Amino acid sequence: MLIDYMEDYGLDTKNIDKFEKYKELILEYNKHTNLTRITEDDEFNVKHFLDSLSLFKTDLFVKDKKIIDIGTGAGFPGLPLKLYNEDLDITLLDSLRKRIDFLNGVIEELGLKKIRAIHARAEEIARDPKYREGYDIAVSRAVANLSTLTEYSMAFVKVGGYFISQKGPEYKEELKSAKRAIELMGGEVKDIIHTPLPNDIDHYIIVIKKVKATDKKYPRGGGKPRKAPL
């Protein structure tokens, strides 16, 4: 059960009912619109909830930090972060309207404040002064290599803020390939945190600090961050 996993992981279980309701809403919506292939209860709790909450191991998601979750999908990791620490100010970003409609429904159903879901492409909205370099932390669990995620994400982060990516045991190769992208975006790797999960899942959190402003030509448009990573 989720409550057991959270307790074993050293997490407070005060909002467990909201997590269960959120799961229920996902599984119901998933019957007609694909949000996740993970529907078995134990796997869901570990790979969606506990994996998202492992970000608190960084000690960065505190107080009322402004967070943007890029390519949030069904709301991971942004919504679990919000459910665990209600003081966080969170923006959920996704390019698919159906996902955003779902997320807005969840926000309303759970009565959450200081959180919004935005329908937009990262490479376009990152050029908007309202969003560019306006966040303390950018996170992304989107399926893409680290070079691509870094280019999409770093423009949203304030100088002095962080881009945080969750990766599997092959993270060293990705990190090596992403070295140029990280530097070009104004970042430097500050920490790598091992976050093993139940069922022998081996994950790592890569913490990249933004030390200088991102050049205005980034992120590139036309899907170039995916098609031709830096």
For residue 13, pLDDT beyond 90: no
Please write the tens of the pLDDT for every residue from 164-219. Answer: 999 999 999 999 999 999 999 999 999 999 999 998 899 999 999 999 999 999 99
Distance separating alpha carbons of residues 197 and 32, to the nearest angstrom: 30
Binding-site residue numbers are 71, 76, 122-123, 141
What pLDDT sits at residue 21? 97
Tell me the CA distances in angstroms from 216 to 38, 67, 170, 175, one per residue in order: 38, 21, 31, 23
8 has a pLDDT exceeding 90: no
Q: How confident is the model at residue 1 (pLDDT cuts 50, 70, 90)?
A: confident
Q: Which domain holds residue 34?
A: 2-227
pLDDT score for 41: 93
The closest of 40, 48, 4 to 22, measured between CA atoms, is 48
Cα(49)–Cα(52) distance, integer angstroms: 5
The reported pLDDT for the residue numbered 14 is 86
* pLDDT of 43 above 80: yes
Q: Which residues are annotated as a binding site for S-adenosyl-L-methionine?
A: 71, 76, 122-123, 141
Residue 3's pLDDT band (cuts 50, 70, 90): confident
**Burial of 70 from C-beta contacts in 10 A (0-12 / 13-18 / 19+):** buried
Phi, psi of 228 (to 5 degrees): -140, 75
> Has residue 117 got a pLDDT over 80?
yes
Rounded mean pLDDT of the chain?
Answer: 95
The number of beta carbons lying within 10 Å of the beta carbon of residue 110 is 18
Give me the CATH number covering residue 57: 3.40.50.150
pLDDT, one tens digit per residue, over 133-158 is 999 999 998 778 999 999 999 999 99
Q: Please give the average per-residue pLDDT across 5-11, as a whole number.
A: 86
> In the chain, how many domains are there?
1
Query: CA-based angle 165:167:80, to the nearest 5?
Result: 60
The pLDDT of residue 142 = 79
In the chain the beta strands, taken as DSSP E runs, fall at 66-70, 89-94, 115-119, 135-140, 157-167, 187-194, 204-210
Token pair 């930090």: residue: 65
pTM over 0.85: yes
Element (H, E) at 179: helix 179-184
For the chain, how many helices (H) and strands (E)? 11, 7
